[in-house]
């Protein structure tokens, strides 16, 4: 089934460790996004990529990095995890500006 695949589904991570959340889409969408969703808050944009080879910072980029080597993949890396990064992380993609974003199933990350 076409769509966005995120891995892992959930993870418990010790503070100070590094982790890469994977995101792959097979819809050939140009734009991809990483959000975090915390209770009582709206989705907050971490990083985005308008097209392969380019990335940009969103609202809450500190502590996170991304790369976009090709159209399909958009991994998110936490270099040294901290407890405040405990959240549900969603990857999304869209064909471009003004187009609906399609979301993966999310990664539930707990930093202890």
Partner 1 sequence: GQNIDQPTEMTATEGAIVQINCTYQTSGFNGLFWYQQHAGEAPTFLSYNVLDGLEEKGRFSSFLSRSKGYSYLLLKELQMKDSASYLCAVMDSNYQLIWGAGTKLIIKP
Among 45, 60, 73, 75, binds partner 1 (CB under 8 A): 45
CA distances from 63 to 9, 20, 76, 98 (A): 21, 12, 10, 28
Nearer to partner 1, 48 or 74 (CB): 48
Encoded one letter per residue, x for contact with partner 1 by CB under 8 A and - for no contact, window 46-65 reads --x---------x-------
User: How many other CB atoms sit within 10 Å of the CB of residue 2?
Assistant: 8
Quote the CA–CA distance of 83 and 86 in Å, as a whole number.
6
Near partner 1 by CB under 8 A, which window of 21-29, 42-50, 66-74, 78-86?
A: 42-50
Nearer to partner 1, 64 or 104 (CB): 104
Strand partners, 89: 36, 107
Q: Binding of partner 1 at residue 13 (CB under 8 A)?
A: no
Q: Binding of partner 1 at residue 73 (CB under 8 A)?
A: no
CA distances from 39 to 59, 71, 88, 97 (A): 17, 31, 9, 27
Positive/negative CA dihedral, 15, 43, 5, 56: negative
Nearer to partner 1, 55 or 104 (CB): 104
Give the interface with partner 1 as residue ranges (CB under 8 A).
40-45, 48, 58, 90, 97-98, 100-106
């Amino acid at each position: 089934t076409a769509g966005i695949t995120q891995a892992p589904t959930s993870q418990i991570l010790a503070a100070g460790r590094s982790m890469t959340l994977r995101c792959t889409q097979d819809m050939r969408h140009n734009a991809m996004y990483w959000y975090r969703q915390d209770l009582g808050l709206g989705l907050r944009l971490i990083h985005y990529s308008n097209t392969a080879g380019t990335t940009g910072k969103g609202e809450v980029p500190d502590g996170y990095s991304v790369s976009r080597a090709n159209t399909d993949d958009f991994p998110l890396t936490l270099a040294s995890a901290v407890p405040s990064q405990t959240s549900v992380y969603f990857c999304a993609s869209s064909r471009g500006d003004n187009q609906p974003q399609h979301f993966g199933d999310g990664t539930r990350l707990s930093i202890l």
